[in-house]
Amino acid sequence: MMMSQLKETPIEDKVYAIQQGNKFLQNELLRTYQPFIAKCVSEVCKRYIDPKRDDEFSIGLSAFNEAIFSYVPNKGSSFLSFAKLVIKRKVIDYIRYQQKRTASLSLDETYDEEQMENSLEIAAVQEKYQMEIDAQNRKEEILEFKEKLKLYKLSLVELTEVSPKHRDARESAVKTARILFNDPILREYVYRKKKLPIKDLVKKVDVSKKTLERNRKFILAMFIVLSEDYIYLKEYLKGVGQ
């Protein structure tokens, strides 16, 4: 493949070629997208990231490489959107690990009263910093979710209006979304058609066709949450509909 052709090739096609063993393309992609990786890492760390000196960049680079091999194109999202989420998740995990490690080392030392006060101040600053990181990344995750909803002709405002009002109804809708996501054939249908397979789904759930149609938009939205690499949105679904 000539260089001019290489530049014009969609990145998803390059990723597929790398997954098939193209090492040249892998190295090329890792080199070319270093500014993109640094930007993603910087958004998490809230500061300039130096690719040559910052450990966080190495984490981001490794995450980008991991995203190349775990990307599945038929999920509907672009590779770069997927890679951005993977990078941010890995960097957040790294920051949390470092904070826990620092706290653990601190506990092994002996402090006088003044040192203990400083330790508490540091812990408070770290907690505030982590809250700011979480808030920013939660906001960006919601923006990603909004873009994904558009592919299914849905919006957050509309979702607020159609969400089941009663807890039991919401639990039932989320359970339906889980059944839908866990069925490979039905899941592929949704990815391809961007709508619910009502006729086939009604055979697998304990709700009526009328109920499925009434909660169609909410079920689709929950399906999207389950099928994407959303760290914060999935927290809301823990234990629901299981």
The whole-angstrom distance between residue 146's C-alpha and the CA centroid of its chain comes to 13
The SS3 call for residue 9 is: coil
Provide the pLDDT confidence category of residue 125 given band limits of 50, 70 and 90. low
Q: If residue 12 lies in a helix (H) or strand (E), which one and from where to where?
A: helix 11-19
Quick check: 2 pLDDT over 60? no
Q: Looking at residues 102-109, what average pLDDT do you find?
A: 53
- The confidence score (pLDDT) of residue 106 equals 52
- The confidence score (pLDDT) of residue 115 equals 46
More confident position, 99 or 212: 212
Gap between the Cα atoms of 146 and 157, Å rounded = 10
Provide the pLDDT confidence category of residue 36 given band limits of 50, 70 and 90. very high
Quick check: 103 pLDDT over 70? no
Burial per residue of 194-215, b for 16 or more beta-carbon CB atoms within 10 angstroms, e otherwise: eebbeeebbeebebeeebbebb
Q: What dotted CATH number matches 3-109?
A: 1.10.1740.10
pTM value? 0.54
Rank 71-75, 217-221, 233-237 by mean pLDDT and report only the highest.
217-221
Gap between the Cα atoms of 69 and 235, Å rounded = 25
Residue ranges of domains in the chain: 3-109, 156-237
Quick check: 119 pLDDT over 60? no
Average pLDDT, the chain: 80
Tens digit of pLDDT for each residue in 178-234?
A: 999 998 899 999 988 898 999 989 888 888 889 999 999 999 999 998 888 777 787
Tens digit of pLDDT for each residue in 4-23?
A: 445 567 888 999 999 999 99
- The confidence score (pLDDT) of residue 35 equals 92
Q: Looking at residues 52-78, what average pLDDT do you find?
A: 85
